[in-house]
Structures are given as structure tokens and as C-alpha cells.
Structure 1
Amino acid sequence: MSKKDINSPRFDLIELFFFAYRDFTGDPDVLLDELGFGRAHHRVLHFVHRNPGIRVSDLLDILKITKQSLGRVLKQLVDEDFICQEPGALDRRQRLLYTTEKGTKFCAQLSKLQTQRINKAISLMPDGSDDIVRQFLYLMIDENDRSEVARLIGKETD
């Protein structure tokens, strides 16, 4: 890319991101909608499932949403038995979140849909492309957040 090109809008990639995200989230949206849930419910379920015993404060940091926004979604997920809350062992004021059996099964359904889409796309690319895609996505994350994201997903990505 020349210096002149570096400041030109990348509408090709911007629009591909929009369309890819639309379809990546669209697959689970159908299942979520059947339960009266939306994408916020999906994100909360996903990160609680992947981080059993996560504190509400840590979930707020990951999702970068307000306590009020999380409260509404979390209440619905708890009321409908997808997530349960337990007090912390040392600090009883802490609320530790876990997916219930129902929540775990639903997360598996949602992840399966997204995994199928990812695997299909990567299978159409040259060998080793999944590493390139992983690196690209990692580098799209704000530089100040990368090490925390790498820790969160359990694998350093360079």
C-alpha cells in the first residue's frame, strides 16, 4: 500500500466487515429471536459460558456496556434459567455468574452455527489461512486491550 493509499477509505474492507458480521450474527439471531432474545443476550451468554464464575464487574469490562444495560439482559437470562448467580466465596457481595444446563446447551447451539460459518469460509482458503485470519482479527483489537483479550481467550496471538 502506498502512502497515498493509506489515507484513502477502505470501503471494500469496511463493507465486507459489515456484511460478514451481519451473516455471522444472523445465523444465531434466528434462534435467539425464537426466545425473545437479542444479540446482547448472546454476548452475555457467550462470555459467561466461556468464563464460569465470572464477576459481574468483569463481564461489564469485557462487554463495555453500562450496568443498566447488563442488568436488564442478565435479569431475563436468570429469570429464564439460562444463567445462575452465586455469591462470592470470600466476598458475599460479589455475584458470580454461571450458565445453567439449559444455558450451556443453548450456547452450544449458537456456537455450532457460528463455527460452521467460520469453518466453511476457512476451508475455501489456502492452508494456514486460519492463522492469518486470527492474527488479522487480533491486530484489529485496540492495542491497549490485546494482552487482556489474549489472556481471556486463553491463547497468545502475535
Structure 2
Amino acid sequence: MGEGSGSQGGGESLLFLTDEQLRKGIEAMFFAYRGFTADPDRILEGMDYGRAHHRALHFIHRSPGTTVSNLLAILGVTKQSLNRVLRTLVEDGLVEQRVGRQDRRERHLHLTEKGAALERELSDAQRARMRAAYRAAGPQAVQGFRQVLEAMMDPEMRRQYNRMKESGG
């Protein structure tokens, strides 16, 4: 192996990472997350919605007809917290709840036209940021980035992520 073949970031070996290198990665993640959420936050600012509303809209869009219990598992929030978010989204005409056909106790969640339009606006902003970053970093970095993110997931989260990934869309 030649000089600097360990990684593109100055030849740092990926086998032995110092606390300083890990700190830099942690800080980069914090700042990247701020950027990633800044665009949707600006859109939601005047609507009295927050990131919990955004996440609910995203995953209802991603899995139309998902149940409240499935959404609870994906979001990892309390039932009380999710009910508060869903109540607002339903009252404002963004989400509709349909009673389950097999189990009438289940509530299946769907975006309304208005909800789909807001979700699209929020996602478009994040996709634009992600697309620009991916293009700047290149395909190998994108693949490596995804591998790092997947490796950081707890096993149950990774299972949920993989189920969503396999369901397409």
C-alpha cells in the first residue's frame, strides 16, 4: 500500500483511530445534523410544528397505512408524545386515520393531499442538501457513509431500517 492509501482524509489509518479523530467525527455529525434539519425547521417554523411532526410525516409517507404501533416502534417515542403529534396532524388535515380491516382496534395512518404536499416540501429541501453533499463527496464516500451510519444503528433499529430498505421506495 502506498502513502495515504488508508483513507482520503490525510492517510489516517481506519484501524486505529485516536480519541481526537473520533471527536472530529462526532462534531462533524453534530454540525451535519444541524444542517440537515435546518431547512425543514425553517419551513415548519411558522406552522407550530417541530421535528417530531416532520418525522411522523416522513414515515407515514414512506409506509402509507402504517399503524400507530409501528410508527411508535420506528420513532422510539412514548405513546403519549406520538398521540399529541398525530392529534395535531389529524386536526390540521395533514393525516387521516383509518380503522383496520382485520383488527378494528388498529388505526392505519395516511397522508392527505395537504400532508403529502408538506412532506414533499420538507423532503425536497433535505434531498437537495443530501444530493449536493453526495455529489461533492463521490460514490465511494457515499457508500462508506451509509456503511458507517448502518454500523452505528442498534440491532433493532437496523432490522427496521433493513425492512424499510427492502420494501423499496
- Shared topology, TM-score over 0.5? yes
Pick one of 96, 99, 104 that aligns with 2:116: 104
Name the residue aligned to 2:101: 89
Pick one of 31, 45, 58 that aligns with 1:19: 31
C-alpha displacement of 1:2:
8.4
Q: Which runs of 4+ in 1 moved over 3 A?
A: 1-6
C-alpha displacement of 1:91:
1.0
* 1:11-47 Cα distance to aligned partner (Å, 9 max, x none): 1011111110011001100111121100000001100
Letter in 1 for 2:78: T
Q: Tell me, in whole angstroms, the C-alpha distance in 1 between the residues paired with 2:146 and 2:16.
A: 28
Q: How does 1:68-147 map to 2 (within 5 A)?
A: 68-147=80-159
Unaligned runs of 5+ in 2: 1-12
**CA separation of 1:92/1:57 partners in 2, compared to 1, >3 Å: closer, same or farther?**
same
Q: Tell me, in whole angstroms, the C-alpha distance in 2 between the residues paired with 1:91 and 1:155.
A: 23
May I ask how many residue pairs the two structures share in their alignment? 155
Provide the alpha-carbon RMSD of the alignment: 2.0
**CA separation of 1:5/1:136 partners in 2, compared to 1, >3 Å: closer, same or farther?**
closer
Unaligned runs of 5+ in 1: none
Pick one of 51, 57, 65 that aligns with 2:77: 65
Bigger Cα displacement from structure 2, 45-54 vs 137-146: 137-146
**CA separation of 1:152/1:127 partners in 2, compared to 1, >3 Å: closer, same or farther?**
closer
C-alpha displacement of 1:4:
7.2
**CA separation of 1:118/1:95 partners in 2, compared to 1, >3 Å: closer, same or farther?**
same
**CA separation of 1:3/1:25 partners in 2, compared to 1, >3 Å: closer, same or farther?**
closer
Bigger Cα displacement from structure 2, 131-140 vs 95-104: 131-140
Q: Between the two proteins, what is the percent identity of the paired residues?
A: 42
